[in-house]
Chains A and B, each alone.
Chain A
Amino acid sequence: DAGITQSPRYKITETGRQVTLMCHQTWSHSYMFWYRQDLGHGLRLIYYSAAADITDKGEVPDGYVVSRSKTENFPLTLESATRSQTSVYFCASSEGWLGNQPQHFGDGTRLSIL
């Protein structure tokens, strides 16, 4: 089925470890986004990408790295995980970016860092 899928759905790791969250979309949307969702903060943008090999920082990029070698994939890496990065991470895509395009979300990765 077409859509946007995230993996893994749940992840537990330890501080200092590297962890990569995967995101794959089948619509060939140009734009992809990574958000984190924490109680009391709503969704906050970490990074976004306008096309393959084009990425840019969002509101809370520190401690995260992204890449986009193919249009359909947009992995998010925590190079050295910290407890403050415990959160639910959502990937999203949109056809374009004029602010008048809906974003389509995956079901999230629940990440716990011990």
Chain B
Amino acid sequence: SQQGEEDPQALSIQEGENATMNCSYKTSINNLQWYRQNSGRGLVHLILIRSNEREKHSGRLRVTLDTSKKSSSLLITASRAADTASYFCATDQPGSARQLTFGSGTQLTVLP
């Protein structure tokens, strides 16, 4: 069953603009991760945020987590054409028997 749902499903922006993607989930979590997937390739881990953290940064990436709303957002600043990819959130829940549950992803297109 899908725990995370990304929003929007697709996003198209111009190079240099910021891109924001959202992830909502249904049950309490231990951690939330974001992954990127380029066309025809495997997923690449971007950033992890723990349930007791509210914000985390990594380079041009900023992730926030609001456990009261059961949601997370991924902000990519100053986007580049190379950021064109699908972005997935993944959560692990207490008692989840070692399973990461992935959302269905946001397809980001950055136009040069």
A residues sitting closer than 8 Å to B (CB atoms) are 4, 31, 35, 40-45, 48, 50, 56, 58-59, 90, 92, 97, 99-100, 102-108
- Tell me which residues across on chain B come within 8 A of A106, comparing CB atoms: 42
- Tell me which residues across on chain B come within 8 A of A102, comparing CB atoms: 33, 45, 48
Q: Which residue of B lies closest to A41 (CB)?
A: B104
Count chain B residues whose beta carbon lies closer than 8 angstroms to a beta carbon of A: 26
B residues sitting closer than 8 Å to A (CB atoms) are 1-2, 4, 30-31, 33, 40-45, 48, 50, 88, 90, 92, 96-100, 102-105
CB pair B98 A48 closer than 8 Å: yes
Complex-state Cα separation, A31 to B100, whole angstroms: 13
10 A–B pairs (Cβ distance < 8 Å), ordered by A: A42-B88, A42-B102, A44-B102, A45-B99, A59-B1, A99-B100, A103-B45, A105-B42, A106-B42, A107-B42
Q: Smallest CB–CB gap between B49 and chain A, Å?
A: 10
- Tell me which residues across on chain B come within 8 A of A31, comparing CB atoms: 98
Q: Which residue of B lies closest to A102 (CB)?
A: B45
Q: Smallest CB–CB gap between B60 and chain A, Å?
A: 18
Complex-state Cα separation, A90 to B88, whole angstroms: 15
CB pair A90 B43 closer than 8 Å: yes
- Tell me which residues across on chain B come within 8 A of A35, comparing CB atoms: 102
Closest 3 CB pairs of A and B: A105-B42, A99-B92, A102-B45
CB pair B92 A105 closer than 8 Å: no
Among A40, A100, A103, A107, point to the contact of B50 (Cβ < 8 A).
A100
CB pair A43 B42 closer than 8 Å: no
Complex-state Cα separation, A104 to B96, whole angstroms: 20
- Tell me which residues across on chain A come within 8 A of B104, comparing CB atoms: 40-42
CB pair B103 A42 closer than 8 Å: yes
- Tell me which residues across on chain B come within 8 A of A108, comparing CB atoms: 40-42
Q: Smallest CB–CB gap between B30 and chain A, Å?
A: 5
Interface centre among B1, B30, B42, B92 (most CB of A within 10 A): B42
CB pair A58 B99 closer than 8 Å: yes
